[in-house]
Amino acid sequence: MAQAHSLNVNGRRVTLEADDPQMPLLYALRNQLGLTGPHFGCGLAQCGACTVQVAGKAVRSCVFPISAAAGKTVVTLEGLGTTGKPHPLQQAFIDEQAVQCGYCINGMIMQAKALLDSNKSPTDLQIKQALAGNLCRCGVHLRIVRAVQRAAKTMA
């Protein structure tokens, strides 16, 4: 018995069907909407690879039930900008070459977006603390901090 959930994703109104109201938002985004920017990393809200914004807040979509997103506004990495017209954060990650494998980068950018929404000129330490719950295994941390600083300056 599939239930329909209406929400706004990246500025578009969508209706998503789910047999299980507890299905994490991540699966609807990736498999029903083809938004594969958010990644599955742990399913435990431990790594941050799946981070999206729901109602303006960074959430871990791997544990966020689809039913809880109903009626809300969701923004994914794809909703920030495109390769042709990147968001200042995306452009800063390009400028700093702040990627290795790139699997975690969705979460880094989405979590940094939440930080910059509330703090327009963070210190390096504040950036590190804001991203402390996001894991990167390749070791791109220093570049990511520089990219967030660069974006903050661009957006100021």
* Binding residues for other proteins (CB under 8 A): 1-2, 18-20, 23-24, 27, 30-31, 35-44, 46-47, 49, 76-78, 81-83, 86, 90, 93-94, 97, 99-106, 109, 125, 127-129, 131-145
CB of 68 vs other proteins, minimal distance in Å: 15
CB of 147 vs other proteins, minimal distance in Å: 9
CB of 121 vs other proteins, minimal distance in Å: 18
Residue 8 or 91 having the CB closest to other proteins: 91
CB of 44 vs other proteins, minimal distance in Å: 6
Residue 73 or 100 having the CB closest to other proteins: 100
Q: How far is CA 97 from CA 9, 39, 49, 93, 126, in A?
A: 28, 20, 18, 6, 21
CB of 113 vs other proteins, minimal distance in Å: 12
Residue 72 or 108 having the CB closest to other proteins: 108
Residue 120 or 137 having the CB closest to other proteins: 137
Residue 72 or 107 having the CB closest to other proteins: 107
β-strand partners of 57: 54
Q: DSSP labels for the chain? A: -PEEEEEEETTEEEEEEES-TTSBHHHIIIIIS---SS--S-SSSSS-TTEEEETTEEEETTTSBHHHHTTSEEE-HHHH--SSS--HHHHHHHHTT--SS-SSHHHHHHHHHHHHHH-SS--HHHHHHHTTTS--SS--HHHHHHHHHHHHHHH-
